[in-house]
Amino acid sequence: MNRSSKHNTHAWVSVVALALAAALGGCNDHAKYDAAHQAGANPPLPDARNFFTPPMQVPKYVGWRNGEAPKVANGLKVEKIASGLVHPRQVYALPNGDVLVAESNSPNEEPVTTPKQLIAGLIEGRSGKKAKGANRITLLRKRGDGSGEWDRFVFIDHLHSPFGMQLVGDTLYVADTDAILKFPYQTGETHISARGVELTDLPDTINHHWTKSLLASPDGKKLYVGVGSNSNVGENGLDVEYRRANVLEVDIATGGSRIYAAGIRNPTGLQWEPKTGQLWAVANERDEIGADLVPDYLTSVKEGAFYGWPYSYYGQHVDRRAQPQRPDLVAKAIPPDYAIGSHVAPLGLLFYTGNNLPAQYRGGAFIGEHGSWDRSPLSGYVVAYVPFENGKPAGAPQPVVTGFVSDDQKQIYGAPVGLAQGQDGALLIADDVGNAVWRVTKAGD
């Protein structure tokens, strides 16, 4: 090889290296909006983008060290009422003041069907969000001695990725990932040894989104079940989405069920809005078309309505990734009521009706935001409060409980998930990364 051809070689190598860097580096996608900018009925929606590598930013798990706690807004205080739990995902307050905690995570039944799943699973595991759950419900009871300590009991064991819990009369309904189970409950008991009786089965193939949220109707005749989709946007085929991305209505007397509302990608929190009695949900929208797409939302769930997934978002914004397309369904799709920011991952919803917290937190909704993994900077990782007026959101989500990630966004201590209101009006927060349950009350209480 003579000198000039050697020279050429170097030039070629640089060109190739540059082209490769440009192709792969072109996927850098820094968010333009934060949650407050993308809140409201008409959030700004940038154009959808495609990426060469899915943008990922995952803080490293460190957990809460001794004495550390999330930060709360002025006028509030926070205490830890349980620690060392195994992936506490949902909390539920019983009428006698006891608190149930579902220690649970994905059943990990999703097969690896693409090379991407192998790699993404490893990266997401860094945050502690993929840790195994205990598949049990734990009962927490405040000691009567005024010490402020809480005792812990194993309430129901050997469950299968439980999430939703609802007490109707003397029957406790538990939504495992694959079925709704009935347990007899007597006030004050700290352990149920009876085996659950199946009320009805739930969609349980793949379980990409595994949580089954649960809400009983005020008259105790129906259960509403939030069933998440089996994919981000239909990439596992549309046949596995049968009865997925839906809110199902289950008749308690017969176990029969029907689709109450459809096209909600992952409706994780279901609650009754106290003023209007309307069903509301928080939902996780789709990923991988931009740091600012698609905003997660808080919405009333209208009977028979279709909210777009997977064919469109926010009404008629068509997502061409879902094929074959369904213009007939897109035409029917209605937008959700209220965006709360992109990729904040709302997993818990609570309309606050108590009178412990200051007046500014009454009547609106608390949202447990588990936090983003595919966005830079991070979003979520807070418990936010959305004020309501006349049964409608009346202002952007305000962070109320924060400090779950370090200021530099490199480390994660915890992540809020399910929310509940204690019988004393305290706000209870399940923290499935910090393995704790937090209790927020007014300062000086």
Partner 1 sequence: MTPTTAPVRAPTYRSRFATAVFDVLNPVPYGLFVGTLIFDILYAITRNVFWGKGAAWLVTTGLLFAIIPRVINLCHVWIPSRYPVTSLERLDFWLNLFGIVAAIVNAFVHSRDAYAMVPLNVVLSTITVALLSIAQIVHALDKFALREVPREQVQ
Q: Which residues bind partner 1 (CB under 8 A)?
A: 1, 9, 12, 16, 19-20, 23-24, 50-54, 113-116, 231-237, 287-289, 320-324
Q: How many residues would you count in the chain?
A: 445
**Residue 240 dihedral angles phi and psi, to the nearest 5°:** -80, 0
Is the CB of 233 or the CB of 291 nearer to partner 1? 233
| Burial environment of residue 131 by CB neighbours within 10 A (0 to 12, 13 to 18, 19 or more) | middle
Closest contact distance (angstroms) between CB of 293 and partner 1 is: 13
Closest contact distance (angstroms) between CB of 54 and partner 1 is: 7
Is the CB of 20 or the CB of 41 nearer to partner 1? 20
Closest contact distance (angstroms) between CB of 21 and partner 1 is: 11
Is the CB of 321 or the CB of 442 nearer to partner 1? 321
Closest contact distance (angstroms) between CB of 327 and partner 1 is: 15
Is the CB of 16 or the CB of 197 nearer to partner 1? 16
Is the CB of 9 or the CB of 28 nearer to partner 1? 9
Taking the C-alpha atoms of residue 169 and residue 303, their distance in angstroms, rounded to an integer, is 25
Distances (CA, A) of 164 to 19, 115, 136, 338: 50, 32, 12, 24
Is the CB of 45 or the CB of 289 nearer to partner 1? 289
| Residues 421 and 353: beta-carbon distance below 8 Å | yes
Closest contact distance (angstroms) between CB of 211 and partner 1 is: 20
Closest contact distance (angstroms) between CB of 236 and partner 1 is: 7
Taking the C-alpha atoms of residue 199 and residue 178, their distance in angstroms, rounded to an integer, is 11
Taking the C-alpha atoms of residue 324 and residue 313, their distance in angstroms, rounded to an integer, is 16
Closest contact distance (angstroms) between CB of 288 and partner 1 is: 6
Is the CB of 110 or the CB of 431 nearer to partner 1? 110
The residues facing 298 across adjacent strands are 282, 338
**Residue 430 dihedral angles phi and psi, to the nearest 5°:** -80, 135
Strands 338-342 and 39-40: antiparallel
Q: What angle do CA 26, 29, 34 make, to 5 degrees?
A: 170
Longest CA–CA separation in the chain, Å:
90
Closest contact distance (angstroms) between CB of 232 and partner 1 is: 5
User: First vs last Cα of the chain: how many Å apart?
Assistant: 83
Q: What is the DSSP letter of 48?
A: P
Is the CB of 154 or the CB of 240 nearer to partner 1? 240
